[in-house]
Structure 1
């Protein structure tokens, strides 16, 4: 094995960010295997490789024992002391057994092992890099579509966007640049498998953290997120600083900040509401853009009864119940919505029932 090969291993290790010592160690292990395979030896052997010149020496190792059995890796104390009188039982005797044509075999095996070890090390580094970024956003370029899966190039790795994690109706085109949310990073025999999502609520949260400096700096906090991907989302925000409007900070000047996020999500509507520790106020805020007349909180059942103006009822409920459903998901409360006229009718009907019951008691 020549000096140029040794130099190349060192340079390659530095270039790939891998400790060259690990590559040299892997080469030595491979050479031990190559020796045993090509020369039919069951002996324990050690490879000594000069990391400057590439010169190789193979040494057979035998264990000194008081009584020799059938193990070819054992040697008697008497035989060992013929080699060196200083040997004692349990010492190791080394004898050079380097074959004359071993250099060519060594070079072939070393090349294969170096390539394999570099590939394994690169996979390990990619796994470490992306596993530490779980629950974070990555930007990639759509590489291909196969079996409804979208494969996204992240540079040194490839992410998979499965059908379940795709926004309904969203169109994915080759070479489009797109942000996704890392859900999970798995180790596989073919390298790290990075699973990403476009539907996860965390994607919306991280987009706001990236776009709104007040959230990034911790001045404004996102309390909750509710999404129906591709259709509509709601987020609730809060701040302890009385000089900051948390909703306004997220909306941005002329709606620029929220519009950037809407564009990234291909038109998904986003309602930003102010968080409140008072459930009745929080639910009222969550039903935005509908206006609420009054609320009644039933703590034990965790139900909030809401009354809205007649002309606001359909807005409060939303198309196919979407607004009320998202508000309930956002706040964690069941929401019972009625219009003012419905509430008045129920109150009147209830009063009549009380009157009938009262008269019956009188009889």
Structure 2
């Protein structure tokens, strides 16, 4: 333990972003434990490392008393005054007890502490790096599959894609490169725990942001997303600039932009609809690709009755009710769909 050791500590602290004094205090605390363990003592001790030379000294701390009951913890006033005439009762006396061979033990323990603190610092750096990326999309490589959980290799760490965050129509294989959405970053003793998703609606949002510059610069705004992962997504968009076709911007020339998102989502169908502050128009748009004849809204209950042509009823409802369900999720309105003949019959019966 010498000046070169301190220089090495200083260099490590700069590279790893660790406070030098914090590291030295941790080394001193570890050396206290090492001293007690190796020399079988119950003494109250303090270890001091000289900040300039690296020299290490061990001091026994003893309380000044009139009569000594515990020689490890106490010293008589008479003996204390031999060290310094200024000591009085209840003072704490420090007596150097540095063993001759303590340097080797100190070096070994100091190395362990430094390695441990470096690991902790690196874990903290990775944690903070990914905490900033929470709610963002990143690329990763499938590393392994354990108990239906997929472990994704990321830069300097790995994340977990739980079974409930995996798309039902996807098969995952080791070395596959995929885009994932970071839902949560938690600090643990083993480093950051990063939870990923392929099913989150915001994955679709972030993918569109990557493909559509107008979304990034604020010319097109994503107002709402409703998703049944692996099957279908509806996304409502709006532009504050009347000269911009918000749906066309998201679709892209010959559909290239939306196709990039569809490909990344393994063929998931995407309906891009125009948001409108008029509930009737917005709800009608939300049922795309079905054509809507009329929308009757109940503002108080936020419920809407939609009338579609007879040949469009199954399209409006969708397979197993999916289209209607997603439209309701997207708009936040309860939706009841009727064919034109059903609605006319309903009106006639009501009049009767």
TM-score for the superposition, normalised by structure 2: 0.91
Aligned twin of 2:147: 147
For residues 188 and 275 of structure 1, the distance between their equivalents in structure 2, rounded to whole angstroms, comes to 42
Q: Distance in 2 between matches of 1:130 and 1:76?
A: 58
Q: Which moved more, 1:17-26 or 1:95-104?
A: 17-26
List aligned pairs for 1:94-105, cutoff 5 A.
94-105=94-105
CA drift at 1:225: 0.8
The answer to whether the Cα contact below 8 Å between 1:273 and 1:288 also exists between their aligned partners in 2 is: yes
1:17 deviation in Å?
A: 3.0
Q: How does 1:1-363 map to 2 (within 5 A)?
A: 1-51=1-51, 53-64=53-64, 70=70, 72-351=72-351, 354=352
Match of 1:360 in 2: none
Q: 2: distance between equivalents of 1:230 and 1:343?
A: 34
1:35 offset after TM fit, Å? 0.8
Deviates more, 1:49-58 or 1:98-107: 49-58
Q: 1:359 maps to which residue?
A: none
Cα deviation digits, residues 118-170 of structure 1 (max 9, x gap): 22222233233323433222221111111111101112221011111100020
Distance 2:63 2:130 in 1: 47
Q: Helix, strand or coil for the counterpart of 1:112?
A: helix
Over 3 Å counting, the alpha-carbon distance change for 1:71 and 1:213 in structure 2 is farther
Q: Which runs of 5+ in 2 are unaligned?
A: none
- Alpha-carbon deviation of 1:41? 2.3
SS in 2 for 1:208: helix
CA deviation after TM superposition for structure 1 residue 309, in Å: 1.8
Q: Is the 8 A contact 2:30 2:113 kept in 1?
A: yes
Paired residues of 2:308 and 2:339 also in contact (CA < 8 A): yes
Q: In terms of mean alpha carbon deviation, does 192-201 or 174-183 score higher?
A: 174-183
Deviation at 1:81, TM superposition (A): 2.5
Q: Is the 8 A contact 2:17 2:121 kept in 1?
A: no
Gap change, CA 1:168 and 1:78, over 3 Å in 2: same
Distance 1:71 1:296 in 2: 92
Give, in angstroms, the shift of residue 4 of structure 1.
4.2
After the TM superposition, which of the residue ranges 6-15 and 287-296 deviates more from structure 2? 6-15
Post-superposition offset of 1:302: 2.4
Moved more, 324-333 or 301-310: 301-310
What CA deviation, in whole Å up to 9, does each residue of 1:80-115 have, x standing for no partner? 222122334554322211100011111221222222
CA distance in 2, matches of 1:10, 1:147: 44
CA distance in 1, matches of 2:205, 2:77: 73
Cα distance, 1:5 vs structure 2: 3.7
- Deviation, 1:320, is 2.1
Distance 1:73 1:226, change over 3 A: same
Which consecutive aligned stretches of 4+ in structure 1 deviate over 6 angstroms post-superposition? none
Q: What TM-score do the two structures reach when normalised by structure 1?
A: 0.89
For residue 125 of structure 2, give the secondary structure of its aligned residue in structure 1. helix
Verify the 8 A CA contact 1:60 1:94 in the aligned structure 2: yes
Which structure 1 residue ranges, 5 or more long, are not aligned?
Answer: 355-363
Give the Å deviation of 1:255: 2.4
Residue 230 (structure 1) shift: 0.9
Kept after mapping to 1: 8 A contact 2:159/2:196: yes
- 1:281, 1:191 → 2: CA distance? 50
Is 1:7–1:52's contact at 8 Å kept on the other side of the alignment? no
Q: Number of aligned residue pairs: give it.
A: 352
**Contact map agreement 1:296 1:306 (CA 8 A) in 2:** yes
Shift of 1:307: 1.0
Does the 8 Å CA contact 1:201/1:227 hold for their aligned counterparts?
A: yes
Q: Deviations for 1:272-300, whole angstroms, at most 9, x for unmatched residues?
A: 11112222111101011211111100223
Match of 1:358 in 2: none
